[in-house]
Amino acid sequence: MAEEKPENNAAFFDPAAPPKPTRNKFATACSFLASMTSVLLGYDVGVMSGAIIYIQRDLQITDVQKEVIMGIFGLYALIGSAIAGRISDRVGRRLTIVFAGAIFFFGALFMGLATNYAFLMVGRFVAGIGVGHALMIAPVYTAEVAPASCRGLLLSFPELFINIGILLGYVSNLAFSKLPTNLGWRFMLGIGMFPSVLVVLVILVMPESPRWLIMQGRLREAKLVLERTSDSSEEVKSRLADIKQAAGIPDHCNDDVVAVPKQHHGEGVWRELFLHPTPSVLHIMLCATGIHFFQIASGIETVVLYSPEIFEKAGITNDTHKLLATMAVGFVKLMFILVATFTLDKIGRRPLILTSIGGCCVCLLVLATGLTFIQNSDHRLVWAIALCLVAILCFVAIFGMGMGPITWVYSSEIFPLRLRAQGCALAIASNRVTSALLTMTFISLYKAITLAGAFFLYAGFAAVAWVFFYTLYPETKGKTLEEMGSLFGTFFKWRSTVRALEEKKGDYNGHVQTGNTTTDHN
């Protein structure tokens, strides 16, 4: 028995034992830089929430025009993401990021120079195309670069940068709010050119995605990238073999450049997604589009984009106070996304997303209740105003801890290689269409059913989302991108599938351990 103790604890003292893997710094840096493209969406959302106050005063636009110019951006981004899916398969992930930054640059320039409503809409269209490119490419590139051990952390970067952009937009609003009305909003929108220039510059130090390189048959370049973005040499071999298999390249082909049997430039992908999807692909599509739909349907973009107006209805009427309260929303949301960023790979996707959407539902109910008291009172209710402010801050905090980053993580990691670019574009289409519908109808909605009624409605969406996630979404933490397909396809019965896979894996590991023990005794 005395001899067994060192043997049992050998893993703790044996210098030859494999060390605990550390976070891959190169993969982290690549993901960080690629995700900077997401700052473009965040900046536009944040800056428009304040700029629209001054645009309405300067251009004398109606509430309907206000809704359209704020909400239609989502539809423009939808067009951009649909185009970007095909472009990224043809020219690569890096060049698509360049396109995103360049297009947004001109959009911001046009908005800053706009002299009337029509000119401003042109700028919104161009900027929206650029944002659509950014939304699609950042999570796709990150998913393809990141090792499984820290993929959750790295895939949360796009949401992190969206919220950095939102906060920068809020700061821009406050900084230029004291300028003359006809100049202030133009500076707020035009200054967005600078983040887009930064996005283009960072491309110079980023490698191409290894999965895209293999899709082109460029094995040597892909192997070099995998060596720098993997945790071990064994993982390099495993990832390379899995991607080659997914791309249709025989395992024995190891030349620097090889012929790819079938070029994956989007041909047949839409047919596989829509006309003849397998149960696995159908389940994946349902999960990817569903999580993006419910992320927006919970009301987050309405709260962020219309924060000044919501605060005004809640009793905060001073412009500076509204902008400061709005900045608090952006700051709190950003801080709690940082919390989620470092817990995704430890806690897992399901616990965080279920806790987050459940908490959002409660916060929306509290906000709607506070607004109900305010709307039905003939005098100023300080406690109700405070309750609404706290409810909004809690809502964005709880959203940031789960629904915000996990939406991008989950939808980016579950698609197989051959469908990833177009699949992510489809998921983002769900996100942007829902965003456009909610933001373009928010003012009309709350005028029809009251502001409190609108948030009761969003709370209902959040409750439905909780049931949807609980029943359909398997845990993906720790799985490689090529293993994802085995988790999907049984829909509501995914738990039994996961159990069967774990039992099979356990039997395999037990067999391997038995074989190793036998060898040692020999």
CATH number at residue 318: 1.20.1250.20
Side chain identity at 67, as an amino acid letter?
E
Tell me: do 392 and 435 sit in the same domain. yes
Asked if residue 477 is part of any domain, the answer here is yes
3-state secondary structure of 280: helix
**Residue 416 carries which DSSP code?**
-
* pLDDT confidence tier of residue 82, bands split at 50, 70 and 90: confident
What whole-number percentage of the chain has pLDDT above 70? 88
In whole angstroms, what is the distance from residue 333 CA to residue 393 CA? 8
Domain region containing 278? 268-512
Residue that is last in its domain, among 230, 258, 286: 258
In this prediction, residues 289-307 reach a mean pLDDT of 88
In whole angstroms, what is the distance from residue 338 CA to residue 162 CA? 12
Burial class (CB in 10 A: 0-12, 13-18, 19+), 111: buried
pLDDT in tens, 214-234: 888 888 998 898 888 888 888
CB atoms within 10 A of CB 498: 15
pLDDT score of 465? 95
In whole angstroms, what is the distance from residue 72 CA to residue 432 CA? 9
In this prediction, residues 116-121 reach a mean pLDDT of 92
Tell me: do 489 and 414 sit in the same domain. yes
Tell me: do 229 and 298 sit in the same domain. no
Tell me: do 111 and 243 sit in the same domain. yes
Tell me: do 450 and 487 sit in the same domain. yes
pLDDT in tens, 351-377: 889 999 999 999 999 999 998 998 888
Residue that is last in its domain, among 207, 237, 258: 258
Burial class (CB in 10 A: 0-12, 13-18, 19+), 204: exposed
3-state secondary structure of 21: coil
For residues 466 and 441, which has the higher predicted lDDT (pLDDT)? 466
pLDDT score of 263? 54
In whole angstroms, what is the distance from residue 223 CA to residue 237 CA? 9
Asked if residue 13 is part of any domain, the answer here is no
* pLDDT confidence tier of residue 18, bands split at 50, 70 and 90: very low
Tell me: do 321 and 245 sit in the same domain. no
Residue that is last in its domain, among 206, 235, 258: 258
Is the pLDDT at 7 greater than 70? The verdict is: no
To the question of pTM greater than 0.85 for the whole model, the response is: no
Buried b vs exposed e over 153-192: b needs ≥16 C-beta within 10 Å? bbbbbbbbbbbbbbbbbbbbbbebbeeeeeebbbebbbbb
pLDDT in tens, 142-160: 878 877 777 777 877 887 8
| Helices within 298-348 (DSSP H only) | 300-305, 307-313, 319-341, 344-347
Q: Do 37 and 199 contact (CB within 8 A), yes or no?
A: yes
pLDDT in tens, 448-492: 999 899 999 999 999 999 999 999 888 887 776 666 777 787 788
> Encoding tokens for residue 386?
């405070």
Is the pLDDT at 383 greater than 60? The verdict is: yes
Task: Tally the domains of the chain.
Answer: 2
